Homo-oligomer: A and B are copies of this chain.
Amino acid sequence: MPIVRVEMFEGRDRETKQKLVKSLTAEMARVTGCSEASVHVVITDVSKEDWGIGGELAATKFPD
């Protein structure tokens, strides 16, 4: 039943997200002993214009 949420900069493609979901799910099951079937992973893409670090937008701090 665990729920894992990932917030990261937008731009990863579907294949990377599939790998991430697979890998985080496997680790959750391995470390906590839950079943893989019970794990939910929800990914949120965040624009660099919506993420501030140290008071500055990531869009400014880490331009693409």
Given the interface pairs A16-B31, A44-B50, the reply to whether A55 lies near B6 with Cβ below 8 Å is no
User: Judging by beta carbons under 8 Å apart, are B37 and A42 in contact?
Assistant: no
CA distance A36 to B55 in the complex (A): 7
Chain A residues within 8 Å of chain B by Cβ, number: 51
What's the number of copies of this chain in the assembled complex?
Answer: 6
User: Judging by beta carbons under 8 Å apart, are B36 and A40 in contact?
Assistant: no
Please tell me which one of the listed residues B7, B40, B45, B55 contacts residue A22 in the complex, with CB atoms under 8 A apart: B55
Min CB–CB distance A43 → chain B (angstroms) = 4
Which residues does A use to contact B, with CB under 8 Å? 1-9, 12, 14, 16-28, 30-32, 34, 36-46, 49-60
A and B contact pairs by CB, cutoff 8 A, 19 listed: A1-B51, A2-B9, A3-B3, A3-B5, A5-B5, A6-B28, A8-B32, A14-B59, A16-B31, A18-B56, A18-B60, A20-B52, A22-B55, A39-B52, A40-B40, A40-B51, A40-B53, A42-B46, A43-B51
